[in-house]
Each structure stands twice: as structure tokens, then as C-alpha cells.
């Protein structure tokens, strides 16, 4: 009997070992089944750069070594402060901050326990080194006074960074301005952090970045170069990081793969086949593809109202728009458009009519009520304004004329699918049809992107599509980027009035140091835009994200670049 018990015990022991082995096998199988996200993107520009590019240097100024690649968002980016999905400033590397009353200094109190991938500590001295390197050297040519990407006040007004103690820095500016914290949070170029020990000579602001570990940043991922294929895909693998140690926005994705699929329809097919899980929002499907996507039970389209307004900008500096009659003509055109039809016919419901403002969205933080004035469909008013501007159909051909010249306006567009500009053709056709009914002959010129840029540079158009920015830009930055030549990225401001008061008040709004002062100038700018119909408002585009229904936890960022896809997870 005892022998039988011993045999049973032996069997039991063997069984327990077998169970343990099986359990380990199950765990191994689970480990193999990674939480992985496959994302399609549309171009290879960000992937074609060599590995180990230095993100603290501009690729235009340092073409052989510099450049911020797509993977840097996950290997190196860690901003002191950033923006939440609504465009409001939130702490990140800094757990808190204070701004002086004159907005000339901002003090950051850094989180403890933040480390690079090699285990070295991020502290105030490292923060100062990176800010000095980026602002005074690496990206100065892009954002400085004569910057190729537009003069940015964070660079233009930068004085110095002071180390108060190991966890505190204070940044000094020569001039203060109210929106400084938001602009700091929205310019993510300041958030690519490298270790000063990875530079030769070490801690030299102008030193050469030669890291032993290529992805020694503050991000929670590294690039798997063995799995990545140049110009086809780049594979990111999660590593243990300070995000895990501090239980702060812990990434849930073990693996993120960016896959190049240039054709938008092919991206949609790949999603339907389960080959990808998410279409990166910069390369969203064209609007006409959304109705079919909605029918697919395996796909999800998440959407919300955006702050980005699409407008028609005019050649305000030349006839027929460069006079008092030109103002009346713009007003007449503004009252002639049925924006609800634009929403349905060109944007397939993924837009809202822009009738409550001329340029700024009421959804922007700190939007003042004085800017709540816009243009709605009013054909009687439009007819009156056309006549007051001298435009009448004198020969009965259905086209308004003046001084023997018909009212023909050249609308320059590009409907390139690769750049997600296909909406321009549908929108142009709807506008052409609507304005024909009031006697305006819209002549659409649809060019490939290179030729389009050339014509735009030559100012060879009457009308052209333009747009404001998403919510990551403050309202005064929105105005400054498009109506202040001093900081404009455009070849020409969207509008300038004859005495240039618009540009003056916009620049005053941007340099304001109090809310009352800022609102005073913003209200004046809105009044000029409304009185002159400086631009012709069309619609607010809806933000949307297209993904597999297996993707859970998605939330919109203030910009697609700030979508925290690493915090999503895949439902098994």
C-alpha cells in the first residue's frame, strides 16, 4: 500500500512538473502574441533617412546628420509640457511650472526618476543643454529671426536657461508674450532630448552626436533594425522606461510597425484585409471613401469637430479684389455659398458649415465672443452686393460683367491623392455649380502638386483654397501665421487691408502680455476680416481616425502627431 502511495506521489510530482511546463508554454505563447499595432503611412520621407539621425539638428541646416524622423516620436520625444486633446497645456517631463507676471520667464519643476535608455538620469543640466543646443544652434536656422520655417518667438526672444537646482530650470526671454506656455507646448521640436554624454566633445552645444546606443532617448521604444525594411516599414519595440517606473502614461503596445502604403485606396483595402490596424491621420482616406468604410463592421471611424476652417483666399492685391468694389465682391461671393451643400456634397458629412466666424474657430481655447460673426447664404444680399460693385449681366448670357469684362475667376487647385488633396476637386465643383447660378464663371485649374506650387508662387490665380490650423496652435498664432508677413509660412498673407492695420493688430495681439490686451487686438482683427470679407469661410473639417474595431483606447490628440497610439491596445 505504501509502495502504491509512493508511485502515486511520483506520478503527482511528474504531473505537477508537466503542468508547470505546460503553463510556461502557455505563457510563452501569450508572450509571442504581442500587443502589436500596424500603422499605414503614405510616404517614405521619414523612413528614408539613415538610422541615428540627430533630432536636435535641423535636416535643412545639417543635411548629413540632422533630422527628426518618424521613429523619433517614440524613441526620443519627451516634452517639458505638452497639449491635451483639446489643445490645453499639461505637464509632462515637468510635473509643474510657473510663468512670471511679465511672461519673460517660465520655471519648470522636473519629475524625479526620469532616465535615458542607458540608465543615465535626466535632470536640469541635461534639460538646459538640450534647450541651448536646439534653440541657439540646431534649429536656429529653421525658427530663428530669418528662419526657413518662419520666425518663432520662442527662438527669437530666447535669452538663456538657468539651472536653479537638480530638478528646476528657469528659462528667460528678452520679451514676454501671453501665449508663450502654449507655444512652448505646441512646438515639439523642443522635446527631442539626447544625452549630453553622447556628444563629442561631451556636453558641447555644437558637438557631434555619436551615441553608443542609437536610440538612447527618453522615449519608451527603440527601432528594431533587423525587422525594419528601408523605404517599406519601420518596427518599434517597447523597452522598459521611466514611463513604466513612474506609472505615467504607460505604453500598452509592445510593438508598433509603420508600413508604407502610398496609394490611399490600397491603404483602405489593407485595413479591410486586416493587414493594418490603423491609418495614420495625416494620410487619412479621401472623404468619398468614408461611406463604404462605415458599412464595414470590422472598421471604425472615430470623429469629432475640428478647429481647422477651410477658406477661399483671394488675390486681394489685384483686380477684381483690390478696391472697395473688391470688398463688396468678396462679400457677395460669401453670401452666395450654400455651405450645407458643401458639407454633404464635398465632405460626405464630415464637416460643419462655417457661418459663425470668418477665420477663427469658436472651439479654440480663449476664443472671444467678439469674433462670432460670419456670412450665411443670402442670395438677395449677394445680388445687391454684386450690383453695388458694378457687376451686372448686361448681355443676357448668364454671366455678370463689368466694363465689358465677364466675371471669370480662376480657382487654382491640386487634387493629388498622395497628399490627401482630393477634397479640393469635389469642393471646387460644388462651388463652381453654386456660383454659376448667381452669374460667376469659376474656371477650375487642377494641376499636379509641383505645377500647383509654381503657379501659387507666381501668384497666378484669383481664388485658392487655404485653411487655418488645428487646435494645437493658439488663436493668436493662427492669426499671425496667416495675416502677419513677419511670421507667415505662406508666400503671401491670406489678406492684407489697404492701410495694413490688420497685420499691425495681429502682431500686437501676439506680443500682448494680458488677456484684456490680447482680446482687444484679436477683436480688432476679427472686425477687419468681417468688414472686408478678407477671406471667404467655407467649412470646419471634422477630424477623423480610421482603424480596426480591435483597436481600443484611442483618443484624439491636439494634432495627429500627438495622438498617443502607444497607449491604445488590441482587443484579442
CATH number at residue 143: 3.40.190.10
Burial 225-247 (b: 16+ CB within 10 A, else e): eeebeeeebbbbbbeebbbeeee
Question: Do 79 and 227 belong together in one domain?
Answer: yes
Sheet holding 158-165, edge to edge: 94-99, 105-110, 168-173, 158-165
Domain end marker among 245, 270, 286 = 245
- The string of DSSP letters for 400-415 reads -EETTEE-EEEEEE--
Whether 262 is covered by a domain: the verdict is no
Question: Do 463 and 335 belong together in one domain?
Answer: yes
In order along its 572 residues, the chain shows pLDDT tens digits of 344 444 444 454 544 444 454 454 444 444 446 899 999 998 766 555 567 789 999 988 998 889 888 899 999 999 999 999 999 999 999 999 999 999 999 999 999 999 999 999 999 999 999 999 999 999 999 999 888 888 899 999 999 999 999 999 999 999 999 999 999 999 999 999 999 999 999 999 999 998 888 899 999 999 999 999 988 999 999 999 999 999 999 999 999 999 999 899 999 999 999 999 999 999 999 999 999 999 999 999 999 999 999 999 999 999 999 999 999 999 999 999 999 999 999 999 999 999 999 999 999 988 999 999 999 999 999 999 999 999 999 999 999 999 999 999 999 999 876 567 889 999 999 999 999 999 999 999 999 999 999 999 999 999 999 999 888 889 999 999 899 864 444 568 999 998 889 999 999 999 999 999 999 999 999 999 999 999 999 999 999 999 999 999 999 999 999 999 999 999 98
Domain end marker among 228, 245, 262 = 245
Question: Do 213 and 315 belong together in one domain?
Answer: no
Whether 411 is covered by a domain: the verdict is yes
Question: Do 236 and 316 belong together in one domain?
Answer: no
Question: Do 182 and 316 belong together in one domain?
Answer: no
Question: Do 316 and 417 belong together in one domain?
Answer: yes
Handedness of CA 248, 249, 254, 255 (dihedral sign): negative
CA–CA gap between residue 149 and residue 255 (Å, rounded): 33
Q: For residue 183, what is its C-alpha cell?
A: 507655444
CATH number at residue 430: 3.10.105.10
Domain end marker among 245, 261, 296 = 245
Number of alpha carbons in the 13 Å side-chain half-sphere of residue 386 = 25
- Give the pLDDT score at 420: 72
Question: Do 352 and 428 belong together in one domain?
Answer: yes
107 strand-pairing partners: 98, 170
Question: Do 353 and 454 belong together in one domain?
Answer: yes
The answer to whether 471 and 185 are in contact (CB under 8 A) is: no
Cis previous bond, 10, omega within 30: no
- The string of DSSP letters for 250-280 reads ----SEEEEEE--SHHHHHHHHHHTS-SEE-
Question: Do 232 and 318 belong together in one domain?
Answer: no
Question: Do 411 and 524 belong together in one domain?
Answer: yes
**Which tens digits make up the pLDDT trace of 277-310?**
999 999 999 999 999 999 999 999 999 999 999 9
Question: Do 234 and 325 belong together in one domain?
Answer: no
Whether 527 is covered by a domain: the verdict is yes
Domain around 85: 39-245
The answer to whether 40 and 271 are in contact (CB under 8 A) is: yes
Whether 156 is covered by a domain: the verdict is yes
526 closest CA partner among 373, 375, 332, 363: 373
**Which tens digits make up the pLDDT trace of 114-123?**
999 999 999 9
Whether 6 is covered by a domain: the verdict is no
Whether 550 is covered by a domain: the verdict is no
Question: Do 238 and 355 belong together in one domain?
Answer: no
The pTM (predicted TM-score) of the whole model is 0.88
Whether 251 is covered by a domain: the verdict is no
Q: What is the number of domains present in the chain?
A: 2
Residue 166 DSSP symbol = T
Whether 566 is covered by a domain: the verdict is no
Amino acid at each position: 500500500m505504501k509502495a502504491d502511495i509512493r508511485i502515486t506521489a511520483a506520478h503527482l510530482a511528474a504531473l505537477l512538473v508537466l503542468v508547470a511546463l505546460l503553463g510556461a508554454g502557455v505563457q510563452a505563447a501569450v508572450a509571442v502574441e504581442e500587443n502589436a499595432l500596424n500603422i499605414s503611412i503614405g510616404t517614405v520621407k521619414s523612413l528614408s533617412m539613415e538610422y541615428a539621425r540627430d533630432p536636435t539638428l535641423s535636416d535643412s541646416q545639417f543635411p548629413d546628420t540632422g533630422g527628426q524622423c518618424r521613429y523619433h516620436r517614440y524613441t526620443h520625444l519627451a516634452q517639458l509640457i505638452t497639449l491635451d486633446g483639446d489643445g490645453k497645456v499639461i505637464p509632462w517631463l515637468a510635473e509643474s511650472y510657473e510663468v512670471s507676471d511679465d511672461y519673460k520667464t517660465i520655471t519648470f519643476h522636473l519629475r524625479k526618476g526620469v532616465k535615458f535608455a542607458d540608465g543615465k538620469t535626466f535632470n536640469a543640466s541635461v534639460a538646459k543643454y538640450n534647450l541651448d543646443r536646439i534653440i541657439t544652434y540646431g534649429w536656429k536656422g529653421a525658427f530663428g529671426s530669418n528662419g526657413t520655417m518662419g520666425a518663432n518667438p520662442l527662438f527669437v526672444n530666447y535669452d538663456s536657461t538657468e539651472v536653479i537646482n537638480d530638478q528646476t530650470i528657469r528659462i528667460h526671454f528678452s520679451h514676454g508674450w501671453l501665449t508663450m506656455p502654449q507655444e512652448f507646448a505646441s512646438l515639439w521640436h523642443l522635446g527631442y532630448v539626447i544625452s549630453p554624454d553622447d556628444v563629442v566633445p561631451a556636453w558641447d552645444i555644437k558637438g557631434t552626436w555619436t551615441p553608443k546606443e542609437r536610440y538612447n532617448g527618453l522615449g519608451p521604444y527603440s527601432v528594431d533594425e533587423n525587422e525594419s525594411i528601408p523605404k517599406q516599414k519601420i518596427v518599434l519595440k517597447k523597452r522598459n522606461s521611466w514611463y513604466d517606473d513612474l506609472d505615467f502614461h504607460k505604453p500598452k503596445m509592445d510593438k508598433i510597425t509603420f508600413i508604407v502604403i502610398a496609394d490611399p485606396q490600397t491603404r483602405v483595402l489593407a485595413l479591410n484585409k486586416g493587414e493594418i490596424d490603423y491609418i495614420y491621420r495625416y494620410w487619412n482616406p479621401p472623404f468619398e471613401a468614408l461611406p463604404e468604410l462605415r458599412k464595414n463592421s470590422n472598421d471604425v471611424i472615430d470623429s469629432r469637430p475640428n478647429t481647422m476652417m477651410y477658406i477661399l483666399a483671394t488675390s486681394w492685391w489685384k483686380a477684381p479684389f483690390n478696391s472697395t468694389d473688391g470688398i463688396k465682391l468678396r462679400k457677395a461671393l460669401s453670401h452666395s455659398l450654400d455651405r450645407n451643400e458643401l458639407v454633404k456634397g464635398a465632405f460626405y458629412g464630415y464637416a460643419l458649415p462655417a457661418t459663425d466666424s470668418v477665420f477663427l474657430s469658436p472651439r479654440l481655447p480663449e476664443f472671444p465672443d467678439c469674433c462670432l460673426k460670419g456670412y450665411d447664404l443670402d442670395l438677395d444680399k449677394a445680388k445687391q452686393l454684386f450690383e453695388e460693385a458694378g457687376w451686372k449681366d448686361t448681355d443676357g448670357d448668364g454671366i455678370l460683367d463689368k466694363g465689358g469684362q465677364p466675371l471669370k475667376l480662376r480657382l487654382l487647385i491640386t487634387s493629388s491623392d498622395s497628399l490627401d488633396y482630393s477634397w479640393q476637386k469635389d469642393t471646387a465643383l460644388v462651388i463652381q455649380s453654386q456660383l454659376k447660378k448667381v452669374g460667376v464663371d469659376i474656371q477650375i485649374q487642377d494641376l499636379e502638386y509641383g505645377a500647383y506650387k509654381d503657379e501659387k508662387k507666381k501668384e497666378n490665380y484669383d481664388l485658392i483654397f487655404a485653411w487655418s490650423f488645428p487646435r494645437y496652435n493658439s488663436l493668436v498664432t493662427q492669426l499671425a501665421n496667416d495675416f502677419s508677413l513677419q511670421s507667415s509660412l505662406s508666400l503671401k498673407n491670406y489678406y492684407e487691408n489697404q492701410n495694413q492695420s490688420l497685420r499691425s493688430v495681429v502682431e500686437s495681439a501676439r506680443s500682448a502680455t494680458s488677456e484684456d490686451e490680447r482680446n482687444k487686438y484679436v477683436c480688432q482683427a476679427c472686425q477687419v476680416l468681417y468688414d472686408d470679407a478678407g477671406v471667404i469661410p467655407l467649412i470646419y473639417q471634422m477630424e477623423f481616425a480610421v482603424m480596426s474595431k480591435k483597436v481600443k483606447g484611442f483618443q484624439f490628440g491636439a494634432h495627429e502627431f500627438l495622438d498617443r497610439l502607444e497607449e491604445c491596445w488590441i482587443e484579442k
